[in-house]
Chains A and B, each alone.
Chain A
Amino acid sequence: MKISMEWLREYVSLTESAETLKEELTMIGLLVEGVEPSATGPVLDIEVTSNRPDCLSHIGVAREVAALYGRRLEMPAVETEFEAASGEVPFGIEIRDPDLCPRYVGLLLDGVTVRESPEWMQRRLEAAGMRPLNNIVDITNYVLLETGHPLHAFDFDRLRGGKIVVGRAREGERMETLDGVGRSLDGQMLLINDGEGPVAIAGVMGGLDSEISPSTTRVLLEAAWFRPESIRRTSRRLGLSTEASYRFERGADWDNTVYSIARACRLIREIAGGRVAGSLKDVYPLKMEPPRIRLESAHIRQLLGVELDDGFVETTLERLGFRVGKEGGGGWDVACPPWRSDMQREADLIEELARFHGYQNIPAEFPPSRTAGAPSRVYALENSVREALAGQGYSEAVNLSFASPADHGEFLPPGGGERVAVANPLTEETEFLRSTLAAGLVRSAKRNFHAGRKRVCLFEIGKVYAPGADGTPGETNTLGVLGTGAFLERNWTSPEAEYGFFHLKGLLGVLFARLRIPSWETEPLRSCGWLSPADGAAVKVAGETVGVMGSLAPELEERYKLKQPVYLAELDLERLGRHAFAPIVYESLPKFPSADRDLSIVVGKEVAWGTIERGILSLGIRELAGIRLMDVYEGEKIPVGKASLSLRLTFLDRERTLTIDRVQDFMNTVLSFLNTNYGAGIRSL
């Protein structure tokens, strides 16, 4: 709201500079965002909060200023004579839906001359950000900016049947508004009709047919009060917000109707030369009363923590237009003014007192502690994941939670295409919620490739979304990891190490170790569309699938025009959390040395390492403390279709020193097992 200082001085004496006023109004809740120059001098740009429609006017702001400095509020002169001087021109007002329009005030003026408004008025309108049109329209706007009440002026000769009918529109009814737009209405919108059809959308905008024109001589002025929820709904449905709708939907003052029309009448008579032709009609089928609130001195102290004396309480409220009656028991009966639509409870009154006492004058005091405090349930898990991955050289990413239709076609969650659609997306990019973190991570990698990077290691912790069993959207906390490019960039000490599947798997090993998940495994997975069938894998803990990993599917690699393979993992953190943080039980360090034995075997390529490893472990050799795969060779030196695996077995007896013979016995057991079950030949020892 733009408030001209020169205009403001009409209602309250003011010696303060614009800068002082800016500071002091801000501290009572009228945030002055800036001071701008205008033809009338400095203009304050005030951000009025939605609970204070009364401050969307110069008088409203003047009332605050008067209360702040303890000065008189001077109300402008208004017309007091509303009887037609000669020959009453009849006009009618009928309210069909008083629930939406409890009060409608009309006044008919005759003999007006439509022309430019005087310069002082034009200057003030422009200072407040409005464009002057003609004197009649300007006067209604001027009164709007002065008293805060929206008025409408009809060309009376364009109203058919000489009457106003206020009622809900017919479903699908159409009318053309002042801005020249044809609008289709629904049955909940309130219309101002003449004898035949709509002439205005109540509280929002007038119709084109009855607008004031240079030939207008008879003007019907409207000052009404409309139900805020109704105006807001209409304005939203039509996508049409106006100075009028903005005020009505926040709550106008029903008693300001007669006053504002009287003010407009006075200005029209002075400026446009009119006279009253049809006397004031105040149709008020539903009488409205502002609330009376009981205010208790003890409650002021309770809420603010300061003691305010009774004189301050009474003066402050009275200056703001409240009527305050002292009652027994340390309290008051407070009648709120009708312009304060925000006053509903005692706390609202206490805020008024706090505003004028000054928030800065309430002493700060740290509240006594009576609670213990506790981190969130996911805090330990998320922080461990973050520390583990950042410690391994991965950077944490955050992508928007949305997905476009294309993302959804490309990155379907493993085993299903259920998705969560946004009912009112902003753009195509926000049509869905993401069902996987992979899409965002691949896009992030792509952006880094564009910036000239080859090595990109990212992780993201965030929700993915899917409809629950009952169809309502649900969310799952998830970890996504992406690695691509060089695991170690080429440098003067070593050549480049290309990032591969087993780097990612190694990272998961570190992660699971940090999360104290002692055993986990991967197995081939074909059902995840965005992973390559060559290395797509399910990640399992205790038989439960907790996620997937592998390289990006070749067709997506192509679609995203990627020049290097990209490896991805996605883990359900909620499932992972259930397995994480096994209790720490210290195991004493071995007192006897362990013995390593290397072994190379030749097996069919189809024999998975996991099978061999599980097989060896199933032999139940208690002294077998570890199995490592040291080398894999496929090539000329061994038969086609075979692979040579080098294993290192570590044996340890916690009770005594192992003898060479015992170790050899273990090795023989392992070898004969491998030979019998996988036809493994020993390549060398």
Chain B
Amino acid sequence: MRETISRLRQSFEEDCAAVTGSEDWKAVRDKYLAREGGLVTGALKKLRELPKEERPAFGQAMNALREFVEDRLDARLQAVKAGERDRKRPFVDVTRPGVPLAPGSAHPIKRLQAEIEEIFVSMGFEVLDLPEIERDYYNFEALNMPPNHPARDAQDTFYFDDATLLRTHCSSVQVHSMETRKPPIRAISTGKVYRRDPFDATHSPMFYQVDVIVVEEGLHMGHLKGMLDVFLKRVFHPGIKMRLRPGFFPFVEPGAEVDISCIFCSGKGCAKCKQSGWIEILGAGMVHPRVLEMSGIRDPRVTGFAWGMGIDRVAILKYGVDDIRLFFDNDLRFLNQF
């Protein structure tokens, strides 16, 4: 009896191992488990022919065999199906190149401009859309630069007529915001500015700026430093250091030049920072009282601060671009690097 079972089991194992496709598999299943004529099912039917006392042991052994056969067949079927699926799908050389879809890109300066705008919005600033074609009054006079002011020299200007020009900075946001809003004011203006500089590796007649104005009661220079510090760390790197030193811009007093620790040498001194460890990045200061007056701020408790920064300059520093003209050549080999 035991011998029969073990022979049956052995022959099943041999047959099952030889299965290669679902057809073979079905044949083996039928050979052992078919209701009519299956070897296992057939053997089970012989149970009744056995003496009563032998039946339980034989029954148990046969049921175990049947379970074994069924489990084995299930496992074998999974393996067979997997093999067949694999055979249906051809082998793919995954190292071949993908379809050459074009990447597309946002312009590096424009993307930086958007990032900067987002930083300011998160700090409670309103972003004003101001015209590039500006009146002399807003670009110069209301910023404490009357006609024939020497500071105008540094901003050689494109004019359309005596009173109309291409803005030389975005600082007109100071006057525009104060004329149309009441303190507390936090506003920026970003975009293209123009100066009559010949186009070369370090100069362009057109570049990008962001100008910042904050006006409210009780602002002081410590606040300017606090906000500048947060801004510069977000634009460049949280580890950046900042220093302010006295500087001159007619529309601020006190005025400051703002340096950041050299991003190329971390302030140790290199060719890019002329061994000083510092890189000049922007101009800032407390809004000049004359500018406040001209813009209609009469309350002496109200003060303000302002700063202005070249966005191209940041891009040049951040990305190590060595020729400003690359930003306006639109060479895809350049653009697609951003």
Contacts and interface: CB of A to CB of B under 8 A. Distances in A.
Interface of A: 26-29, 31, 33-34, 49-52, 228-229, 232-233, 249-250, 301-306, 345-348, 350-351, 354-355, 359-360, 362-367, 369-379, 383, 386, 389-402, 420-427, 430, 441, 444, 447-448, 451, 453, 455-458, 461-463, 465, 472-475, 488-489, 491-494
Contacts of B227: 366-367
A35 to B, nearest CB: 11
A371 B185 contact: yes
A347 B257 contact: no
Nearest to B214: A367
A465 B223 contact: no
B148 A400 contact: no
Contacts, number: 262
A447 B104 contact: no
Given A232-B150, A396-B106, A371 B245 contact: no
Contact of B221 (A304, A377, A390, A397): A304
Contact of B122 (A50, A52, A364, A373): A373
The 5 lowest CB-CB distance pairs between A and B, nearest first, are: A29-B246, A393-B102, A305-B220, A305-B222, A49-B248
Taking each of B164, B248, B254, B328, which has the highest tally of chain A beta carbons within 10 Å of its own beta carbon? B254
Interface in B143-181: 148, 150-151, 153-154, 158-161, 164, 166
Given A303-B221, A362-B221, A457-B104, 20 more contacts: A28-B246, A29-B246, A228-B150, A229-B148, A302-B220, A355-B246, A365-B226, A366-B223, A366-B226, A366-B227, A367-B219, A367-B226, A376-B117, A390-B106, A398-B110, A402-B205, A424-B159, A424-B196, A426-B197, A474-B133
B158 A425 contact: yes
A430 B160 contact: no
B229 interface: yes
A302 B303 contact: yes
Interface stretch (B49-57, B61-69, B283-291): B283-291
Interface string B231-265: 00000000000011111101001111100000000
Nearest to A28: B246
B83 interface: no
Contacts of A448: 330-332
A491 B226 contact: no
A422 B160 contact: yes
A393 B331 contact: no
Nearest to B110: A396
Contacts of A346: 289
B328 A398 contact: yes
B18 interface: no
B107 A397 contact: yes
A491 B107 CA distance: 28
B202 interface: no
B320 interface: no
A371 B164 contact: no
B109 A398 contact: yes
Given A393-B103, A398-B330, A422-B159, A232 B148 contact: yes
B260 to A, nearest CB: 14
Contacts of B106: 386, 390, 396
Contacts of B197: 426
B321 to A, nearest CB: 13
Nearest to B216: A370
Contacts of A394: 102, 104
A345 B253 contact: yes
Nearest to A355: B246
A465 B133 contact: yes
Given A393-B102, A492-B97, A444 B117 contact: no
Given A367-B214, A400-B206, A448-B330, A348 B127 contact: no
B253 A347 contact: yes
Interface string B74-114: 00000000000000000000001101111111110110001
B194 interface: yes
Taking each of B97, B120, B158, B221, which has the highest tally of chain A beta carbons within 10 Å of its own beta carbon? B221
A373 B120 contact: yes
Contact of A488 (B100, B128, B219, B290): B100
Contacts of B290: 345
8 contacts: A50-B150, A354-B221, A359-B254, A363-B222, A371-B184, A373-B121, A444-B330, A456-B332
Contact of B205 (A373, A400, A462): A400
A451 B331 contact: yes
B259 to A, nearest CB: 9
A399 B104 contact: no
Given A386-B110, A401-B132, A463-B132, A395 B332 contact: yes
Nearest to B325: A400
Contact of A354 (B151, B214, B254, B274): B254
A367 B97 contact: no
B232 to A, nearest CB: 11
B329 interface: yes
A397 B196 contact: no
B196 to A, nearest CB: 5
B150 A396 contact: no
Contacts of A465: 133
A351 B254 contact: yes
Contacts of A302: 218, 220, 301, 303
Contact of B102 (A396, A402, A455): A455
A57 to B, nearest CB: 17
B160 to A, nearest CB: 5
B105 A390 contact: yes
B48 interface: no
A396 B330 CA distance: 8
